[in-house]
Amino acid sequence: MKPAVRRGVLVSIPALAFLIGGCSVHEQTQGWHPRYDGVTGEAGDIGLRNVVVVVSDDSRATVLSSFANRGAADELLEVRVGEVTAVPPSGSLEIPDTGYAALEPGPTQIEFDGVDVGPGRITEVEFQFANAPRVTLDAVVKGADGRYAHVEFSENVEADGAPLNGADDPGDDDPGDDDSADED
């Protein structure tokens, strides 16, 4: 064999080895990634799915989430976003045994006033259940536009912060009364 041919074969063998060896390399971009913005978590038998905080321009927020229960029936009692705590509109959200429930725009929407976080940030969200352990997640904050344009916030306060329609005053000693006659 001629020396030039031998040299060509010797040089091409390592190059061929690199080409063939590179076929089995798995890049991170080949992995599976969920197509939603939210985070997931577990609270005992309850799986929290797609937890995301949606904020308005006036420091109000809501939490959107799905709950998949593998065990006995439970209730969501309270949710905290940052330093602000709220309860579901009916006092609690029923999560049926081996069933599904959701916090979503509409009748199960929890609203928070005075949330000090803007879109594009991460904030702490804590869920408290009747039976399942308390769980805290770091959720992404999104604005109420684009994918979340359907999220609406109730008009429960006037521009000066006074409650509308005789809404109950948090400082009132007699909850449930119409506050329109209150002196405070």
The CATH number of the domain holding residue 117 is: 2.60.40.1890
d(CA 56, CA 153): 8
Identify the pLDDT of residue 32.
58
Please give the residue range of the domain that contains residue 116.
44-146
Q: Does 69 reside within a domain?
A: yes
What six digits make up the tokens of 97? 């045994």
| 157, part of any domain | no
Q: Can you tell me whether residue 137 is helix, strand or coil? A: strand
d(CA 113, CA 48): 23
Cα(71)–Cα(138) distance, integer angstroms: 25
Q: What is the pLDDT of residue 172?
A: 44
- Identify the pLDDT of residue 11: 74
Q: Which of 63, 184, 72, 31 shows the shortest CA–CA distance to 135?
A: 63
Residue 176 has pLDDT above 90, yes or no: no
* Residue at 179 is within a domain: no
- Convert the pLDDT of each residue in 65-92 to its tens digit: 999 999 999 999 999 999 999 999 999 9
Query: DSSP letter at 147?
Result: G
Q: What is the mean pLDDT of residues 119-142?
A: 95
Residue 6's pLDDT is 75
How far is CA 87 from its chain centroid? 16
Q: How confident is the model at residue 5 (pLDDT cuts 50, 70, 90)?
A: confident
Is 25 inside any structural domain? no
Mean pLDDT of the chain: 80
Domain count, the chain: 1
- Does the pLDDT at position 106 exceed 60? yes
Q: What would the mean pLDDT of 127-156 be, rounded to a whole number? A: 91
- Would you give the end-to-end CA distance of the chain in angstroms? 104
pLDDT, residue 87, reads: 95
pLDDT in tens, 36-56: 778 999 999 999 999 999 999
Whether 158 is in a domain gets the answer no
Name which residue leads in pLDDT, 178 or 22. 22
Domain-embedded: residue 29: no
Rounded distance between C-alpha atoms, residue 158 and residue 163, angstroms:
6
Query: Does 125 map to a domain?
Result: yes
Q: How confident is the model at residue 34 (pLDDT cuts 50, 70, 90)?
A: low
Q: Among 1-10, 97-106, 128-137, which stretch is predicted with the lowest mean pLDDT?
A: 1-10
CA 100, CA 58: separation in Å to the nearest integer?
A: 32
Question: What is this structure's pTM?
Answer: 0.67
What length is written for the chain?
A: 184
Q: How far is Cα of residue 167 from the mean position of the Cα atoms in its chain?
A: 28
Split at pLDDT 50, 70, 90, the class of 19 is low
Chain-centroid distance of CA 1 in Å reads: 69
* Residue, of 17 and 74, whose pLDDT is higher: 74
Distance from C-alpha of 83 to C-alpha of 27, rounded to nearest angstrom: 40
Select from 60, 35, 63, 64 the least CA-distant residue to 118: 60
Q: How many CB atoms lie within 10 A of CB 127?
A: 25
Q: Judge whether 91 lies within some domain.
A: yes
